[in-house]
């Protein structure tokens, strides 16, 4: 029986939410299409609207289409997943959901104190540093953080979105318990976990999942320019061979793993880069029967799954918070995480 539904604006955010829900022992279905009927054996339905890179108007239209389909399922509770550092068209998407579901307001908590991402006096800090002073976020090619003020990042003109200061997980739990029943819940993973505990009445301790890891061929894909310097260093430290997208990448004859990267230079056309990544991944899978894909960043993951036409996913395991293994039918196992998160140590240990 459906207990809750989630709308995320990118695929890695959707898998992150699916992982949190599976942590509670709930049955999760993740879809990338507008819902047309309730999935079987589903407690939590997670939808990826793939709207983060759109304009305000286009994102609102996309979310409205998904929300109208979701409304037919009459979910008891709805959560809007956003980027934790407020990238995307958040105010437009939340505003659309308030209209479709006829709600008076929204409690929005993008802070993720478990990752040292907090809101203090209305300003956003990551590991103690103001958001706009962190190069990876200040120089984001599509959503640069040019201010630390959360209200300015949100750009809400309706006055219906409440954003409390949050510096601890205890504060998040208190906010989740006090949220008005007629208000939309929105934000990042920490708030979702606290909200889901309230909605379902479950408070299962966090336990990382496990998967059987014995693939014949593993393809590791980093489509994030900001993450590439760190990832390139980590690949070298772990002895993982690296090839670039524009080098006609191929697996070595005796190598079971290959890392695919974008290179050090910023690509002038991000959309074209994602298309190139998807085509390279498809070729490598078809030629080498790669059966395990590690995908970094929602845009990269979505480009790959769209290329193959994968739309419905089951959750295999939450390897660590934010890093989740999913599969669509007989697809390879996909291990997905947001681009701004590091790969957990458990993943690197697979290759030692």
Q: Say yes or no: 222 and 194 in one domain.
A: no
Q: Say yes or no: 296 and 159 in one domain.
A: no
Per the structure, the count of domains in the chain is: 2
How many C-beta atoms lie closer than 10 Å to residue 343's C-beta?
21
Q: What is the mean pLDDT of residues 332-339?
A: 93
* pLDDT at residue 202 greater than cutoff 90: no
Q: Say yes or no: 158 and 244 in one domain.
A: no
Q: Say yes or no: 174 and 239 in one domain.
A: no
Q: Say yes or no: 49 and 192 in one domain.
A: yes
Q: Say yes or no: 22 and 141 in one domain.
A: yes
Of 146, 173, 200, the residue at which a domain comes to its end is: 200
Q: What pLDDT does residue 304 have?
A: 95
| pLDDT tens, residue by residue, 31-56 | 999 998 888 889 999 999 999 999 99
Q: What pLDDT does residue 336 have?
A: 96
| pLDDT tens, residue by residue, 84-136 | 999 999 999 999 999 999 999 999 999 999 999 999 999 999 999 999 999 98
Q: What is the radius of gyration, based on Cα positions, of the chain?
A: 19
What range defines the domain where residue 235 resides? Answer: 218-349
**If DSSP codes are grouped into helix, strand and coil, which group holds residue 108?**
strand
Q: Say yes or no: 13 and 74 in one domain.
A: yes
* pLDDT at residue 208 greater than cutoff 60: no
Q: Say yes or no: 92 and 123 in one domain.
A: yes
178 domain-assigned: yes
Average pLDDT, the chain: 92
State the pTM of this model: 0.94
* pLDDT at residue 5 greater than cutoff 90: yes
How many C-beta atoms lie closer than 10 Å to residue 158's C-beta?
11
CATH of the domain at 281: 3.40.980.20
CATH of the domain at 153: 3.40.50.10840
Q: Say yes or no: 185 and 242 in one domain.
A: no
Q: Say yes or no: 226 and 324 in one domain.
A: yes
Q: What pLDDT does residue 66 have?
A: 98
Q: Please spell the DSSP secondary structure of 123-154, one letter per residue.
A: EEEETTEEGGGSHHHHT-SSS----SBHHHHH
């Amino acid at each position: 029986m459906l207990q809750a539904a989630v709308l995320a604006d990118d695929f890695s955010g959707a898998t992150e939410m699916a992982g949190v829900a599976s942590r509670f022992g709930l049955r999760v279905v993740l879809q990338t299409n507008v819902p047309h009927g309730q999935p079987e054996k589903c407690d939590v339905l997670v939808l990826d609207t793939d709207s983060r890179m759109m304009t305000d108007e286009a994102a609102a239209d996309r979310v409205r289409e998904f929300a109208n389909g979701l409304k037919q399922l009459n979910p008891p509770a709805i959560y809007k997943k956003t980027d934790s550092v407020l990238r995307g068209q958040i105010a437009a998407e939340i505003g659309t959901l308030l209209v479709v579901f006829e709600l008076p307001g929204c409690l929005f908590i993008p802070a993720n104190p478990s990752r040292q991402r907090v809101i203090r006096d209305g300003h956003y800090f990551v590991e103690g540093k103001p958001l706009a002073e962190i190069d990876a976020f200040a120089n984001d090619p599509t959503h640069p953080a040019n201010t630390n003020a959360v209200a300015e990042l949100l750009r809400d003109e309706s006055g219906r979105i409440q954003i409390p200061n949050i510096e601890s997980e205890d504060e998040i739990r208190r906010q989740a318990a006090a949220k008005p029943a007629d208000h939309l819940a929105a934000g990042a993973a920490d708030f979702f976990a606290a909200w889901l505990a309230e909605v379902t009445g479950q408070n299962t301790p966090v336990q990382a999942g496990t998967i059987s890891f014995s693939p014949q061929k593993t393809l590791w894909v980093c489509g994030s320019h900001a993450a590439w310097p760190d990832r390139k260093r980590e690949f070298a430290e772990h002895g993982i061979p690296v090839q670039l997208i524009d080098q006609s990448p191929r697996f070595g004859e005796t190598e079971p793993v290959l890392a695919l990267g974008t290179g050090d230079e910023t690509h002038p056309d991000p959309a074209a880069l994602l298309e190139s990544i998807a085509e390279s991944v498809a070729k490598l899978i078809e030629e080498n029967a790669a059966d395990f894909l590690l995908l970094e960043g929602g845009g990269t993951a979505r480009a790959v799954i769209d290329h193959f036409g994968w739309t419905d996913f089951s959750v295999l395991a939450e390897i660590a918070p934010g890093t989740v293994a999913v599969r669509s039918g007989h697809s390879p196992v996909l291990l997905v995480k947001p681009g701004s998160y590091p790969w957990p140590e458990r993943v690197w240990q697979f290759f030692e």
